[in-house]
Structure 1
């Protein structure tokens, strides 16, 4: 949450005034992930796949994954666990609210940490690569969910990938330093449900390493 505050920063320089984070509540430990994936995609007959996933998961040194995907979602949308079946509509229906709700949780934490009236927020920057197929967009929805002023200047960024955070802060710094009194709420919200699907030969690495929020 970059902005200017005369009591906390040198005049003219952007300063991070508060930080908030949020992760999906569903946790899967890395040691359990091969079995989880095999069961979710009904691939029990592929013993070589389980062995390969186990080697990959062990080598990543990741402790756990925070999943937005749940057993209930897979039950209601079984095509998510296949490789070739059409799934775009179902994924978007799940991703759009998930991205928005996750960003709301992180923003509420940052605003609480900041401790100032949210009416002072002047700019909102929002990035997502996984919840962008939704109108009105998550930036507009977040204005209402957080009770921000309708006059807040909104900026949406899409598909910046792994460098999204740096891009967000570069824009936030520019806005804060060139708009006296600016308070910029910058949010990056991603849910990797779009990458979860059934196995295909030659694509195992993708589905084992990018199927959930990693922490």
Structure 2
């Protein structure tokens, strides 16, 4: 093996990747890890996300099993976004638990599962980013709210209902009558 190839295998490819070579393939072996990889771009939904570069706290237990490496643990991160009702900034924290088998190449899982059904150990490396993303994103609210009783924005003027007078309203005219109003210049009360 060339020295360049050895250097490439010496370090995992990124902060989300764990090298299992020192862990070995002895069933029953286990090891704990604590990591804080930075969140990649787009780690979230339209209205709420983990800010790019913010740490995602990972507490992991890796266990060697006959078919591969079983990864269990938690991921915790701060999320920021906008209230879907009033567009005020919001922040929260999300924590999820996960458990996933990363199968060894040429294990029995090759014959018993489709390639996309199980995660794989590739060159003795485990990439945790897809696992954490697929576990964390479904727990985020699609329409986050700054509070459960947020009233949102007035559809007439766009002001926040919480800051408006209780008597605030806009006159609405049935669109079927709007053409008549326009032609005859309003109603008797308006003249």
Which TM-score bucket, shorter chain as reference? under 0.3
Structure (1 or 2) with the larger CA radius of gyration:
2
- Larger helix percent: 1
Q: Answer 1 or 2: which has greater strand percent.
A: 2
Larger relative contact order (CA 8 Å, sep ≥ 6): 1
Give the structure-1-normalised TM-score.
Answer: 0.23
Structure 2 length normalisation: TM-score? 0.25
